[in-house]
Amino acid sequence: MIEVVLNDRSVRKLKRELGASGSKEIGGVLAAEQVGNGRFMVIDLSVQRNGTDSSFIRDPVQHRAFIQAFHERMGHQPGRFNYLGEWHSHPSYTAMPSVEDFDQMQSLVEDEEQMSTFLVLLVLKLDANDQLLGSAYGFRPGQPPVRGRLTSIENGAVREETSPLTRILATTTLPHCVVRLLSRTELSYGEPQCPTPKSDS
């Protein structure tokens, strides 16, 4: 089982940005600390604001720079602090990944050019009361996506979206796994538990 925990800063930032972007999709990358086996705390996240009402296309250059700055801020401890994955908003749809979202994340985690063997996708929105609503999924090469828990440090600051998809996928579990990313010199979250790690070479 994976759990993605939002810290207070991330909650504030998400609520502010989602409120300001209205019906436009926005998104970015997640910078996280591994705080337990399969448990990740989102410390910060980047925000790219040029989506449309129904799509969001990530800008890899912008996000790479953000993660690089995060590594510098955290003193280059990629085993503890690292890129965790992606997030985007669904202001007009349920806060669950679309079929295209699942396909894109699967392609991303299987892309030989990137270093992760485990990625998370958060899909988020504000509910009718301007509270955070979302879902978290974990992706690994060659495996179906798995729903994780989405929680916050501040009790109740994020609520989990529910849908039939949840019940189908919630029966599987995702072992704690590696995040290797962005730079071949920077290794990542606890490698040995990963049954099918990608090669560095």
By CB under 5 A, name the binding residues for Zn ion: 98, 101
Cβ-Cβ contacts under 8 Å for 2 (sequence gap 6 or more): 38, 39, 40, 120, 136, 138, 146, 148, 149, 174, 176
Q: Which is nearer to Zn ion, 78 or 91 (CB)?
A: 91
**Cβ at position 121, least distance to Zn ion in Å:** 8
CB-nearest residue to Zn ion: 101
Q: Strand, coil or helix: what is 61?
A: helix
Nearer to Zn ion, 53 or 111 (CB): 53
* CB distance 200 to 183 below 8 Å: no
Residue closer to Zn ion (CB basis): 21 or 98: 98
CB of 127 to Zn ion, least distance (A): 17
Pair 53, 62: CB distance under 8 Å: no
Shortest distance, position 93 Cβ to Zn ion, whole Å: 7
Looking at the Cβ atoms of 98 and 143, the one nearer to Zn ion is: 98
Alpha carbon distances (Å) from 41 to 34, 81, 130, 151 = 6, 9, 22, 9
Contact 50, 58 (CB under 8 A): no
The distance of closest approach from Cβ of residue 187 to Zn ion in the complex, given in angstroms and rounded to an integer, is 30
Please report the beta strands in 127-163, taking only residues with DSSP state E, as ranges in sequence order. 132-139, 146-152, 158-160
Q: Which is nearer to Zn ion, 13 or 88 (CB)?
A: 88
Instruction: Please state the closest distance from residue 122 (CB atom) to Zn ion, in A.
Output: 10
* Residue 27: CB minimum distance to Zn ion, A: 8
Amino acid residing at 99: V
